[in-house]
Amino acid sequence: MSSDSLPTRYDPESFEGRWYSKWESSGAFSPTLEGDRPPFCIVIPPPNVTGVLHIGHALQFTLQDLIIRWRRMQGYDALWLPGTDHAGIATQVMVERQLAKEGTTRQALGRDRFLERMWQWKEEHKDNISRQAKALGSSCDWSRERFTLDDGLSRAVRRAFVTLHSQGLIYRDQRLINWCPRCHTALSDLEVVHKEQQGRMWDFAYPLEDEGEIVVSTTRPETMLGDTAIAVHPADGRYSGLVGFHAIHPFLDRRVPLIADAELVDPEFGTGAVKVTPAHDPNDFQTGKRHELEFINILDNEGKINDAGGQFAGQDRFAARTAVVQALKAKGLLRGERPHEMAIGHCQRCDTIVEPLLSRQWFVDAKPLAEKALEVVRDGRVKVVPDFWVATYEHWLENIQDWCISRQLWWGHRIPAFTCAQGHLLVCEEDPDSCPTCGQAVEQDPDVLDTWFSSGLWPFSTLGWPDETEDLKRFYPTSVLITGFDILFFWVARMIMMGCHLTGEVPFHAVHLTGLVRDASGDKMSKTKGNTIDPLEVVSEYGADAVRFTLAALASPGRDLPLDIRRMEGYRAFATKVWNAARFVQMKLEGDEQPLGDLSPADLGPAERWILSRLAHTVRSVNRAWECYRFDEGCHELYHFVWHAYCDWYLELAKGVTDRREVRSVLRGVLLEALKLLHPVMPYITEEIGHHLGHEEMLILTRYPDPDGRWEDNELEADFSALQELVAGLRSYRAMVGLSQRHPIAVTLVGVDEHRAGFLTSQTDQLEQLAAVASIRLGTAPAQAIHELLGGMEVALELPPGSLGEDQLVRLQKQIEQLDRNRAGLEGRLSNSSFTAKAPPEVVDGARQQLAEVTTRLERLRQTIEASAG
RNA sequence: AGGCGCGUAGCUCAGUUGGUUAGAGCGCAUCCCUCACACGGAUGAGGUCCGCGGUUCGAGUCCGCGCGCGCCUACCA
């Protein structure tokens, strides 16, 4: 226990690191594994191991930590499992870039030495992420930290691959895939980013074998080198006589058959004739299969025309495009050229234009997995927050295509498939010594798996799967996943597919999808724009608590977060406010204060009962907010309670009476409860203040406040609002009239019911202190008094003679106008027979009462004006 | 092309199952360095809730259409 006084200045840097170490070394981050505590588990969306955290990570870390700390304080056996992802392409690209600077390549280095470099790079960078996570206060269990290429997780990947393969859900096939000519690897459909671009469309003619020509259109003229058919619609009269005949390829020694295909061809489009390149276009690929056409690959892995391209061989695809157009022109076959808007696929990682390429790859048959994944979301076993994402999720899964999972990279999980010289294929968990069929030596498939394949196993592979570990039994399915909506398909859907299929259970009971952190003007943050915010920088500038509070308060469900740095200043001011309030309280304490639990409403004054009632409501709504991931609401509730209820009102009321023990007890007790409530959002400052106030247990381990109906007192709160409004009204009135705030005013309550009036007149000391009320009574107004409408009460104020100025008359007039509008509206409604007949009786009664009150007030106010005029 | 989301105060956003007088934070203006806090206090100005139509006694809230913005999905040559 410490009673040394809080420093005057709030200086987060002076204690943040200290508390983090204390928490960590106390074991608070690790679950206790005690059986009577319900488990609660979050697995972290693993950041790229060699990456740097951006503010979006900070958001997710904050929200995860908020939830995990809250649940831990509620008594759950909480585990937040951290880790990182090897991020195949992204990381490999970084190291390759480094090699390029050294004037070498991975091929020159060879696979083994290249991988050594990769691991070295990983080792150098791996602490980046955890250091940043720790600075933010993340209460992860570092003893359970995982990396996707760890032995355990690699074993999980192998088990998953072998299982799916044995079930026929993973297969190898020659297909059209997305090929990145720069990364030299296949990509899944999701890794291709479509961008609307202004392209061109060319028309050119194929001369027919006998006579005449047929005109086709294309956006990629170079692909004509791989054309093996020309298709027309079977019902198209223009071409019906030509089907079965051949055209002559202008540059290659090839006859090109004319075929009829109703699926490929839209007779309304262009000339109604389509060139067919089965090896380089997805539609044409299907057409090729239907018609058993020849598949001619004209590109190499670099995106250059290969030998099949005749005179164009060796040219880059874009150079070849120009060359083909030129050559067509030279032969007099070019028929037209026009601008054409179209969506072009780019590599997600390097932005190179992706090429559809015929290639032998490994695929996951996604449909059967998708069915289960759809089911668990539809029946609520996985709750999606916000739920409007369900539609998007369903649409994608309902139309899911098979997933290409092999990558021609070196950094990743090597595909556990082996072949011998005889061509026997072996897919197994343990590396075989030789082919079990023929006994010959085997070679492993050189490719690695898509990173997302291993990420898809993350919620259970990190807990020990495929072993039946204690952790897996206790914490799986995990409780909630918190991540960005941008990886809904990449990651979330795949975890659900893989989890349901491989473990028979959902990977998490709920998934909360956060928005994107944008800059102050709503633009996406990017390094090129230079509008990024470095989490570590803002943490050291504003303190981790302010950064966390800002992000959490901004996190409205399903919305992006426009982050203005000034918000952080604002919430640092909030932290400072808490700090100073605590200093005040600490100053007043005498050491004999009782815990709130020992107090009973009967022993307390109205102000104490009021703040305790407000506290109880706040506890209720904050818990409710966390419960449904309304981080914004929870933060606003807390902000409002601490600043505008506790500091603005209660502290001011308590100032004069801290000699009373129960006042000090409430002062301290409410502050401590507020600190506990705030702890999940602002762990450091709350812990530091709690310690200084003599709270022995660390807040991280303290029970989170539960709603306590004992303190809720709505009647008192209504009385208290009247008091507040009276005080505010008097201040406002003085300001308007130009009277000093200290100038005493005698108050007569005129149109106020007895109960309320009784309360207010009992609060003379408080009213004197807060609003310099000279006296207050219920009764008829003195002749010279000025009638004011304050907080819905009619009060008469006695002022020095002649103090009713022009400004005030204007203000009264304004009030009258507003009331009169109100009156007219009420009268109109009440005279409408359909309103009185159809609206619920309590609404009608309410309107009647209001009208009566408004009418009286209007009268009084008019009298006041007249009196002052006369 | 389809789907989703958004359009409320100068800015960024809340607004529960429709209940009539629409809120917050920041910013702005005026006053105040009162013994926790100027990263503060008090007061105030500021809104045709995108437009039109409909349902209803009553619409920021529900429905339709339109306009604008954003995002996702998509194989149209």
- The bridge status of strand A403-404 relative to strand A146-147 is unpaired
> What average pLDDT does this structure show over A773-797?
81
Residue A274 in contact with residue A280, Cβ under 8 Å? no
With CA of A724 and C1' of each nucleotide, the nearest comes out as: B42
Task: Provide the 3-class DSSP secondary structure of residue A194.
Answer: strand
pLDDT at A1: 40
Rounded to whole angstroms, the Cα distance separating A474 from A40 reads: 9
Nucleotide nearest to A587 in CA–C1' terms: B36
Pairing of β A355-364 and β A170-180: antiparallel
CA distance A150 to A157: 10
pLDDT, greater one: A810 or A766: A766
Residue A217 pLDDT > 60: yes
Which segments of A219-272 are extended strands (E)? 229-232, 246-248, 255-260
What are the pLDDT digits (tens) for A509-543? 999 999 888 887 777 887 777 788 889 999 999 99
CA-to-CA distance for A696 and A701, rounded, in angstroms?
11
**Amino acid symbol at A71:** R
CA A387 – C1' B15 distance (Å)?
Answer: 19
The CA R_g of chain A, rounded to the nearest whole Å, is 37
Nucleotide of closest approach to A839 (CA, C1'): B57
Calculate the CA A163 to chain-centre distance: 33
Scanning every strand, the nucleotide with its C1' closest to A818's CA turns out to be: B21
Query: Which nucleotides in chain B lie less than 7 Å from some protein C-beta?
Result: 3-5, 11-15, 19-21, 24-27, 34, 36-37, 39-44, 56-58, 71-77
Whether the CB-CB separation of A295 and A278 falls below 8 Å is answered with yes
How remote is the C-alpha of A350 from its chain's centroid? 25
A244-253, A467-476, A605-614, A824-833: segment of lowest average pLDDT: A824-833
C1' of B76 to CA of A443 (Å) = 43
Res A3: pLDDT: 55
Specify the range with the lowest mean pLDDT, choosing from A40-44, A151-155, A401-405, A554-558. A554-558
Q: Which pair of tokens denotes residue A249?
A: 């390829």
What whole-number distance in Å separates Cα of residue A634 and Cα of residue A217?
59
Sheet with A478-484, edge to edge strand ranges: A383-385, A508-514, A478-484
- Distance, CA of A152 to CA of A145 (rounded, Å): 12
Map A501-529 to HEC letters: HHHCCCCEEEEEEECCEECCCCCECCCCC
| CA A564 to C1' B16, whole Å | 28
User: In chain A, count of helices (H) and strands (E)?
Assistant: 28, 29
Instruction: Please count the other Cβ atoms lying within 10 Å of the Cβ belonging to residue A196.
Output: 9
- A646 CA to B13 C1' in angstroms comes to 25
pTM for this predicted structure: 0.92
DSSP string of A368-381, one letter each residue: HHHHHHHHHHHTTS
CA–CA dist A411, A398 (Å, integer): 32
User: How far, in Å, is the CA of A544 from the C1' of nucleotide B33?
Assistant: 30
For B12, which residue's CA is nearest its C1'?
A562
User: How many Å does it take to go from CA A568 to C1' B27?
Assistant: 15
pLDDT > 70: what percent of chain A? 98
How large is the angle between the packed helices A683-692 and A544-554, nearest 10 degrees? 130
CA of A821 to C1' of B21 (A): 10
The pair of three-digit structure tokens given for residue A416, joined into one six-digit string: 């556990």
Q: Which nucleotide is nearest to A811 (CA to C1')?
A: B44
In DSSP terms, A745 is beta-bridged to A773
What percent of chain A clears pLDDT 90, i.e. is strictly above it? Answer: 57
Question: CB of A638 within 8 A of CB of A678?
Answer: yes
- pLDDT of residue A359 exceeding 50, the answer is yes
Q: Which of A493, A498, A480, A409 is nearest to A451 (CA)?
A: A409
The distance in angstroms from the start CA to the end CA of chain A is 69
Q: Nearest residue to B3, CA vs C1'?
A: A392
Closest CA to A694 of A668, A657, A659, A664: A668
Angle at A84 between CA A83 and CA A86, to 5 degrees: 150
pLDDT, position A805: 63
Minimum CA–C1' distance nucleotide for A543:
B39
Contact status, residue A672 vs residue A695, Cβ threshold 8 Å: yes
Nucleotide nearest to A196 (CA to C1'): B74
For residue A18 the two structure tokens come to: 């200290």
Q: With 70 as the cut, is the pLDDT of residue A800 above it?
A: no
Minimum-distance residue to B2 (CA–C1'): A395
Q: To which residue do tokens 């799916």 refer?
A: A164
Q: What is the pLDDT of residue A781?
A: 82
> What's the mean pLDDT in A374-390?
89
Nearest alpha-carbon partner for A462 in A478, A449, A479, A450:
A478
Q: Which nucleotide is nearest to A647 (CA to C1')?
A: B36
User: CA of A554 vs C1' of B68, distance in Å?
Assistant: 25
CA of A127 to C1' of B3 (A): 42
The gap between A725 CA and B8 C1' (Å) is: 26
